[in-house]
Amino acid sequence: MTSKELSIGLLRTVFILIGISIVLFLLYKIATVIVYLIISVVFSLIANPLVQFLKNKLKFGNTLAVITTLLFFLLLIICFILLFVPLILSQGENLSLLDINSLETSFNDMTTNISVYLESHHINLKQLFDSSSLSSKINFNFIPDIFNGIINTVGNFGMGLASVLFISFFLLKEKEQAFRIFKFVLPRNHKLKILTSMEKIQHLLSRYFIGLLLQLFIILILYLIIFLIFGVQNAFIIALLCAVLNIIPYLGPLLGIIVASLLIMISGIGTDFVHTTLPNTLYVICGMLVVQLIDNNLSQPIIFSKSTKSHPLEIFLVIICAGILFGITGMIIAVPTYTALKVIGKEFLPDNRIIKALTKDI
């Protein structure tokens, strides 16, 4: 190899690395748009059966069917949000979040009641909850920052929802035209494999999302039964919130237990904390743990393994690895992504022994 060829090769490598860096930088900058596109594609897969039903059974026009479907899902989202208004109002009556001094006093009262209860069972935590040590170090001036964060989150959610609905409208309305263009630009030698992979992925992901909804419904019913048994206020709303948090694998159930416990204890302010509120909270936590045992060992493995045709151990390892690498977002999208990769691997590398073993049921 001459020095000229070596120089050209080095320059080509440098330009390739610069190009890759620019592409990665641009992808990082438009990451939000990419997330909107992914959510829109998933939403379109979920909404497409309803669009087809309106077109085939009720003889709606294509545009009218899409608009009706989007309005239906928008109405569901609005109803879901409005469900939490009574919960917010109810908790606002028990504890004014805007009154920082009142919140600090209520916190100190709650820790004192817990300390008295534990001392009655010969557990001395007086020093831990002493106002000069732990509670004095807690600064409740972070409450206004929380509300500013909530306002920003609501604003971002509104913009994201509008973007997803706008993109989904065209994905659903112009699905056939877009699919024809997509088929036209596909390389001829891989066109059949790509189209087959897309069909299988759509089928398996539809099964997965239906299974996820079934799992959330089961958890909602079990949580609701527990909350009603122990007389929890706003039982349905809290159960629904905890069921939605369950979408986050492994971490979501823990967040649900914490949220439910805090809401129950806040609702119990003004009543007999030691003999009523705290025991009921502990009973509810035990009941929620039992529900999670049922979900983790029965409903979740059965539903997910059947819907995605993957072994429960596969799903567990994939979710854990995705959580370590990409955090909560990775845990949520781990199973759909893994399912899609398995289908692609089966179509393009059918003779690979590892892929053959992982995809034998697909």
303-361 tens-digit pLDDT: 777 777 777 778 888 888 888 887 777 777 788 888 888 888 888 877 778 887 777 77
The answer to whether 358 and 342 are in contact (CB under 8 A) is yes
**H-helix or E-strand containing 131?**
none
Answer whether residue 99 shows pLDDT above 60: no
Domain range list for the chain: 1-94+145-185, 96-138, 187-362
CA–CA separation, 276 and 332 (whole Å): 37
- The encoded tokens of residue 293 equal 């045992």
pLDDT above 70: percentage of residues in the chain: 75
Q: Report, as an integer, the average pLDDT of 37-50.
A: 79
Between the alpha carbon of residue 339 and those of residues 106, 206, 304, the distances in Å are 48, 11, 11
- pLDDT tens-digit series, residues 253-300: 888 888 888 888 777 655 666 667 778 888 999 999 999 888 877 777
Say which residues have a Cβ less than 8 Å from residue 241's Cβ, sequence separation at least 6: 84, 87, 256, 259, 260
Residue 225 banded pLDDT, cuts 50, 70, 90? very high
pLDDT of res. 221 = 92
Can you give the pTM of this predicted structure? Answer: 0.63
pLDDT band at 129 (very low <50, low <70, confident <90, very high): very low
Count of other CB atoms within 10 angstroms of residue 54: 20
Distances (CA, A) of 114 to 134, 232, 326: 14, 20, 38
Cβ atoms within 10 A of the Cβ of 186, count?
A: 14
